[in-house]
Amino acid sequence: MPFYGQGMNAGMEDVLAFAEALDVPPTVSFAVEQALLSLMAARRGTSVARLLGAKHTRLPLSHVLVRDAAEAHLAVHGGAEHLKIKVGRDLADCIDRVRAIRDRVGPKVALRLDANGAWDMTTARKALQALAELDVAFVEDPIAGEDLDAFRALRNASEIPIALDAPVRSLEALKRIIAAQAADVVVIKPMFIGGLARSVRMIREAHAAGLGVVITSTLESEVGIAGAKAVALASPPDALSVCGLGSNHLSPRQIAPETKLPNALMKSACANPTTTALTLV
């Protein structure tokens, strides 16, 4: 590849072309690109965000993931203004929990719901109708899959904005979502996109189309989160909604020690309490 042999003379475009040409999973190309850009930034005495074109230095506040009204109360007491709630297949439980959280935190706190594709179309329609009175900021991935016609139908029938995460994994996928008018908000996860620069391009594309953008992480280390923050800083300042790039949980003083780190099984259990999360054979 052209990047080899250039060494210290490699430029920004060389690094990006090398990372994008790799025949590896997106998580690997993201890591390679971030590592090379970090080396370049250190050599030039700047930051990865600046290399990507950042013009500002402040990020939107982060949302906090909560499970119930008690955790929501603690989060808001600690200064949180945006809460994320995982909801699952049990529609009655979903509505009861969201209502309890709304009653506990009051009308000024923004509530974001993530269904992780747990609902079918019929349940999703019922959920969106029932939740409309609770002033929900948006519902993420209300149904599974990539049926953009179905997402557009939900969006047209819903008073609550629709956010898409799982279907947003490439610039081509984003363009299809925009053309289908299938979402109000898109969630960008740079590690799953496969690179910092391509994530910035996608954010600019979404913003130009009038979509809201949320940048967040999954189970990255602090290094991966730093890469996502660089992407956020390089995005148009008015493109981003409140992102998930800080502590995604309550502070260690507010929760049990065993839940300080992101716990995929716990998240799955919250979203789908009646589904088997782990089987040992």
Per-residue pLDDT of the chain (281 residues; tens, 9 = 90+): 444 444 445 677 888 888 888 889 999 999 999 999 999 999 999 999 999 999 777 776 677 889 999 999 999 998 888 999 999 889 999 999 999 999 999 999 999 999 999 999 999 999 999 999 999 999 999 999 999 999 999 999 999 999 999 999 999 999 999 999 999 999 999 999 999 999 999 999 999 999 999 998 877 788 899 999 999 999 987 888 878 776 444 333 333 333 344 455 555 555 555 566 665 54
- The whole-angstrom separation of Cα 187 and Cα 185 is 7
**Is position 86 annotated as part of the catalytic site?**
yes
Task: Give 85's DSSP letter.
Answer: E
N- to C-terminal Cα separation, the chain = 44
Q: Which of 22, 89, 109, 84 is nearest to 249 (CA)?
A: 84
The pLDDT of residue 172 is: 96
- The whole-angstrom separation of Cα 213 and Cα 241 is 6
Catalytic residue among 84, 86, 229, 267: 86
- The whole-angstrom separation of Cα 94 and Cα 129 is 13
C-beta separation of 137 from 112 below 8 A: yes
What the block records as the tokens of 248 is 């995604």
C-beta separation of 271 from 86 below 8 A: yes
- Residue that is written with structure tokens 């929990």 in the block: 97
Catalytic residue among 84, 189, 229, 267: 189
**Is position 189 annotated as part of the catalytic site?**
yes
DSSP lists the bridge partners of residue 86 as: 114
- The whole-angstrom separation of Cα 52 and Cα 50 is 5
Which secondary structure element, helix H or strand E, spans residue 263, and what is its range?
Answer: none
Q: Which of 137, 179, 190, 126 is nearest to 161 (CA)?
A: 137
